[in-house]
Chain A
Amino acid sequence: GENVEQHPSTLSVQEGDSAVIKCTYSDSASNYFPWYKQELGKRPQLIIDIRSNVGEKKDQRIAVTLNKTAKHFSLHITETQPEDSAVYFCAASIDDMRFGAGTRLTVKP
């Protein structure tokens, strides 16, 4: 089955800096790659996703890039704010969705 690796496990940045989280996946048939933000005690919330026919997608301060050849995808958050602090999960999907282990992002004011 699909295996998703996510790095780093924790990331601390200063407010206004950029944050980058990277994921790799094992199954080249995966075709959908969402990113979820989870605040403490809350449900995962979809923040951005990308499909395998696209290399990059941007939504305001958030962007995702996908390299299908290398089987990795990344989340980029620019101009980070304290409210971006949360755990971020990547996932890869064919018929079922497999999540990475999560990155705890802390944005220091």
Chain B
Amino acid sequence: EPEVTQTPSHQVTQMGQEVILRCVPISNHLYFYWYRQILGQKVEFLVSFYNNEISEKSEIFDDQFSVERPDGSNFTLKIRSTKLEDSAMYFCASSVDRSSYEQYFGPGTRLTVT
């Protein structure tokens, strides 16, 4: 069964550095998402992406965040200047159609900012 994949599984970075988290959505899916989960807390929506542009974004998704689909398979989340509070698990998800359809989550990237 096809799965969403994410790399790396764990990323450690210093405050102020840029990080890029990578995702490969399921191949026939058209909508892509990024979520954040701070340890022990709920899953928080960051952004949705469709047809090479942002569809929706939350209040968390400020100017330090950006997303890109650089080629036909990868979907990336860039955090420009990381802060300590960016430490969290970041999940990518994809769905066949918009968010009223099943979203399949990747295994996550644990980001630790020191």
Contacts and interface: CB of A to CB of B under 8 A. Distances in A.
Contacts of A101: 41-42
Given A89-B42, A89-B43, A44 B91 contact: yes
State which size class the interface on B falls in.
20 to 34
Task: State the 7 A-B residue pairs at the shortest beta-carbon distance, nearest first.
Answer: A32-B100, A43-B105, A96-B56, A99-B43, A93-B99, A101-B42, A95-B56
Interface in A85-109: 89, 91, 93-102
A102 B41 CA distance: 8
B35 to A, nearest CB: 8
Given A95-B56, A95-B98, A101-B42, A34 B103 contact: yes
B55 A95 contact: yes
B75 interface: no
A23 B106 CA distance: 25
Interface stretch (A10-18, A45-53, A69-77): A45-53
Contacts of B91: 43-44
A43 B44 CA distance: 13
B17 interface: no
Contacts of A42: 107
B45 A97 contact: yes
A95 B48 contact: yes
A80 B89 CA distance: 29
A31 interface: yes
B25 interface: no
B66 interface: no
A97 B46 CA distance: 10
B44 A97 contact: no
B68 interface: no
- Residue with the highest number of chain B CB atoms closer than 10 Å, among A32, A44, A46, A89: A44
Nearest to A4: B42
Interface in B86-111: 91, 98-108
Contacts of A96: 45, 48, 56, 58, 99
Interface in B1-50: 33, 41-45, 48
Interface string A37-81: 000001111100101000000000000000000000000000000
